[in-house]
Chains A and B, each alone.
Chain A
């Protein structure tokens, strides 16, 4: 029994993550149509416009709308994007997101990459090769790390 102690924080964290995710989605039935926004600590002229997209957003060019405006409080520029066609509810479901099938995950990654490139000059890559070995709990965390760049509130 003692060997299972490690599962307590993992399960508690997982339950909390699911609770946050589910409550966020319940409160907004139109989540698939929402703008995804990053605030970039650079002036608007450095960020671009809907005619001249930052490089990480190039591949989405035909499929997204983009909005660029000055952020309040001297925090730089708000860069927002959303798909022209609303994302189907099935693609936004938890199973689809765990499977990496929600197209908003790629868009979130691209927005984060844009912010990192403009602010810091590069997108930080994780260490490699890994030092970890496969365990049941480790495989679950590995799945979350694969998806995490495309998840989270924006």
Chain B
């Protein structure tokens, strides 16, 4: 498949990379229908986020069609249209259970790097450095979505892709900012 890869500071390129595969029973694979660029992608491009490797696929705001499901997935079926949260949460640790999903204890596969850099590891974010989990990003034709029952949401009929896409990151980010400021 084709994907947008980080190649170095201020250097991106579209590359042919291997398709993602199901790695865990709670994964789904989605085919991208819509994706967008976040301001946070600029931090990667500008070199302000360490722990990037040449060839890493970036991108974390997306909506797609489910094309494959793991054996433990219960809320999604092949053909479903879903918008995916940028952060990956397991849905069952203390942080997820208390709506602090970005601190999920079980989704960062590189916890030691996050701890060394930040003092405590975050949960995983699609395409956002190896310090934040090392998962592939969404500027690609296909994306693997771990713990999809908790981080991917059905898009109702009648709502177009472009409108639903912003539920991935932009809307919740703005909502949280407004909520925190009272």
List residues of chain A with CB under 8 Å of any chain B CB: 5-6, 8-10, 12-13, 16-17, 20-21, 39, 41, 75-76, 112, 115-116, 119-133, 135, 137-138, 141-142, 144-145, 147-153
Contact = CB atoms under 8 A, between A and B. Distances in A.
CB-based closest 5 A-B pairs: A151-B112, A148-B112, A17-B116, A132-B55, A120-B90
Given A119-B93, A131-B136, A148 B111 contact: yes
Nearest to B131: A13
B150 to A, nearest CB: 9
Interface stretch (B31-39, B43-51, B79-87, B167-175): B43-51
A131 B6 CA distance: 10
B112 A144 contact: yes
A49 B50 CA distance: 40
B17 A131 contact: yes
A13 B51 contact: yes
Size range of the chain B interface in the assembly: 35 or more
B121 interface: yes
Contacts of B9: 5-6
Nearest to B110: A148
Contacts of A145: 109-110, 113, 130, 134
25 contacts: A5-B9, A6-B8, A17-B116, A41-B94, A41-B97, A115-B106, A121-B72, A123-B24, A125-B24, A126-B23, A127-B135, A131-B136, A133-B55, A138-B54, A141-B51, A142-B53, A144-B112, A144-B113, A145-B109, A145-B130, A147-B112, A148-B109, A148-B111, A148-B112, A152-B121
Contacts, number: 145
A17 B110 contact: no
Contact of A131 (B5, B8, B47, B119): B5
A124 B106 CA distance: 7
Interface of B: 3, 5, 8-9, 15, 17-18, 20-21, 23-26, 47-57, 72, 90-94, 97, 105-107, 109-117, 119, 121, 124, 130, 134-136, 144, 146-147
Given A124-B109, A127-B144, 15 more contacts: A20-B116, A75-B94, A112-B111, A119-B106, A120-B26, A120-B91, A122-B25, A127-B20, A131-B15, A141-B52, A141-B53, A144-B113, A145-B134, A151-B112, A152-B112
Contacts of A151: 111-112, 115-116
Contacts of B121: 152
A9 B92 contact: no
Contact of A144 (B48, B51, B90): B51
Contacts of A75: 94
A109 to B, nearest CB: 10
Contacts of A153: 115
A149 B110 contact: yes
A115, A122, A123, A137: which has the most chain B beta carbons within 10 Å?
A122
Nearest to A148: B112
Contacts of B15: 131
Nearest to B48: A9
Nearest to B88: A124
A124 B59 CA distance: 20
